[in-house]
C-alpha cells in the first residue's frame, strides 16, 4: 500500500509498548464487524484497515491485528485533518470516524481500556461538517416505462424480460436498495395485502405496500417462477429456464446496465432508481416521515438528502432569466470571421 504524503503531522501511538496480539474473540475490530450486515462488514472492514495503516505509520494493514486500546485523544484528535490533507473527501472521513468510534466502544466493552477516561476522550472525535453536491440523478417516468417496455419486448428470452421488468418495477415502487431486493424471499410477499417485508440495513425489518401495477408485475413473474419456497428473484438461464438460485447485488447492477443500453437511456445506477422513488414520493406531497419509513432511513434528515426537487426548481429558475447572448448574432459573427479568413487565404495565394 502506497503511503500518501501530508504536510500535517499526526501523533502516532507507541505500538512497541502495545500488548501482544489478541485472539479473534478478544479483538474489538472483530466484535464491531460481527454486529454488521455482510455488505456493511466489507465496507467497514476496509475503513478499519485504512485506519490501522494510518495509525501504525504503514506497519499494520489488517484491522484485526491492530491494538485499538492504545489510542488516546492526542492520536485521534488530529485524524480528520490528517485524512483531509492526504486527499480523503470529508464524507469519507466521517465514515472512517464512525468506524473508529465504534471499534473503540468495543475495546471499552471488552475491558481493554484500564481507564474509562482514556476511552471517552479518544472516542470523542467530532465528524466534519459537509455540504456535498447531490450525487446521481433522477429518472423521468417515461424513462422507467421505456426500461420495462424494453424488458417485456425481449424476444430472445421472454422469461428473463418478465423477471427484469418485475425487478425494475419493485425497485422503484418500494424504493429498495440492491441488497434489499436480492434478499427478498417468496415468504416476504403478500399479494393479497399488496405488501412486502423488507430486510434492511442493520437487519432492521420494515413493511412496504405496492401499487396495483407493481403487484401485477410480481404476479407475472411468479407465474413463470412458480411458488416454490426460496428467493423471490432468481436466476434465469439463456434458454429461459428458472433456477432457484438467488441473485447478487452485482447482478442487479448488470441487468439495469444492460436494459439501460437497450432502451437507449443515459447512464444511471441502481441507487438512482431508489433516489427517484423517494423524490417522486416527496413531490406527491407524502410527508417526509412516511417516506423515511418506506425507504428504511433511520432519520428523516437522510431522506431529505435524497430530495432532488430543489435541483429541478433551480433548472426552472435558470430558464426564467433573460440572456445577453444572441445565438443569431453569434452565427453572423462566425460567418463574418469565415469570410475574412477566406479573404486572407486568397490574398496569400495571390
As a whole number of angstroms, the distance between CA 241 and CA 231 comes to 15
Pick the catalytic residue from 177, 209, 228, 257: 177
Give the DSSP per-residue string, 44-58: HHHHHHHHHHHHTTT
Pick the catalytic residue from 75, 274, 275, 308: 274
User: Which helix (H) or strand (E) covers residue 208, if one does?
Assistant: strand 205-209
Pick the catalytic residue from 102, 225, 297, 308: 297
Q: What does the DSSP 8-state code read for residue 234? A: E
- Is-catalytic flag, 195? no
- Is-catalytic flag, 156? no
- Is-catalytic flag, 254? no
Neighbouring residues of 339: CB distance < 8 A, sequence distance ≥ 6 = none
Neighbouring residues of 226: CB distance < 8 A, sequence distance ≥ 6 = 242
Pick the catalytic residue from 201, 225, 228, 275: 201
Selection from 139, 136, 51, 33 nearest residue 88 by Cα: 51
C-alpha cell at 219: 404476479
As a whole number of angstroms, the distance between CA 199 and CA 69 comes to 34
Pick the catalytic residue from 32, 82, 113, 306: 306
- Is-catalytic flag, 177? yes
Contact (Cβ atoms closer than 8 angstroms) between residue 244 and residue 272: no
Pick the catalytic residue from 258, 271, 304, 305: 271
- Is-catalytic flag, 201? yes
As beta bridge partners, residue 198 has 206
Q: In the sheet where 205-209 sits, what is the strand order?
A: 189-190, 195-199, 205-209
Contact (Cβ atoms closer than 8 angstroms) between residue 273 and residue 263: no
Q: What does the DSSP 8-state code read for residue 151? A: H
C-alpha cell at 276: 427517484
| End-to-end Cα separation, the chain, in angstroms | 66
Catalytically active residues, by annotation: 177, 201, 271, 274, 297, 306
Amino acid at each position: 500500500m502506497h503511503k500518501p504524503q501530508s504536510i500535517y503531522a499526526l501523533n502516532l501511538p507507541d505500538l512497541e509498548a502495545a500488548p501482544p496480539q489478541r485472539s479473534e474473540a478478544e479483538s474489538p475490530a472483530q466484535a464491531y464487524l460481527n454486529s454488521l450486515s455482510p455488505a456493511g462488514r466489507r465496507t467497514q472492514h476496509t475503513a478499519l484497515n485504512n485506519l490501522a495503516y494510518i495509525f501504525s505509520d504503514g506497519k499494520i494493514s489488517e484491522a484485526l491485528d491492530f491494538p485499538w486500546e492504545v489510542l488516546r485523544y492526542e492520536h485521534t484528535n488530529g485524524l480528520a485533518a490528517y485524512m483531509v490533507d492526504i486527499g480523503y473527501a470529508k464524507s469519507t472521513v466521517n465514515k472512517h470516524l464512525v468506524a473508529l468510534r465504534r471499534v473503540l466502544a468495543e475495546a471499552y466493552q471488552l475491558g481493554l481500556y484500564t481507564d474509562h477516561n482514556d476511552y471517552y476522550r479518544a472516542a470523542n472525535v467530532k465528524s466534519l461538517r459537509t455540504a456535498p453536491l447531490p450525487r446521481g440523478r433522477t429518472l423521468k417516468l417515461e424513462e422507467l416505462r421505456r426500461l420495462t417496455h424494453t424488458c417485456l419486448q425481449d424476444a430472445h428470452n421472454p422469461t428473463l424480460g418478465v423477471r427484469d421488468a418485475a425487478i425494475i418495477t419493485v425497485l422503484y415502487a418500494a424504493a429498495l436498495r440492491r441488497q434489499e431486493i436480492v434478499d427478498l424471499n417468496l415468504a416476504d410477499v403478500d399479494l393479497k395485502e399488496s405488501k412486502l417485508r423488507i430486510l434492511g440495513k442493520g437487519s432492521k425489518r420494515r413493511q412496504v405496500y405496492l401499487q396495483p401495477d407493481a403487484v401485477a408485475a410480481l404476479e407475472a413473474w411468479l407465474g413463470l417462477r412458480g411458488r416454490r419456497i426460496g428467493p423471490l428473484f432468481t436466476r434465469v438461464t439463456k434458454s429461459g429456464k428458472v433456477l432457484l438460485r438467488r441473485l447478487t447485488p452485482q447482478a442487479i447492477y448488470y441487468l439495469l446496465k444492460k436494459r439501460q443500453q437497450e432502451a437507449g437511456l443515459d447512464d444511471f445506477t441502481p441507487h438512482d432508481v431508489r433516489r427517484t422513488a423517494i423524490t417522486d414520493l416527496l413531490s406527491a406531497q407524502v410527508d417526509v416521515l412516511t417516506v423515511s419509513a418506506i425507504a428504511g432511513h433511520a432519520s428523516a434528515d437522510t431522506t431529505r438528502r435524497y430530495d432532488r426537487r430543489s435541483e429541478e426548481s433551480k433548472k426552472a429558475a435558470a430558464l426564467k432569466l433573460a440572456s445577453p447572448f444572441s445565438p443569431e448574432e453569434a452565427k453572423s459573427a462566425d460567418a463574418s470571421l469565415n469570410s475574412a479568413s477566406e479573404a486572407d487565404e486568397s490574398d496569400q495565394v495571390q
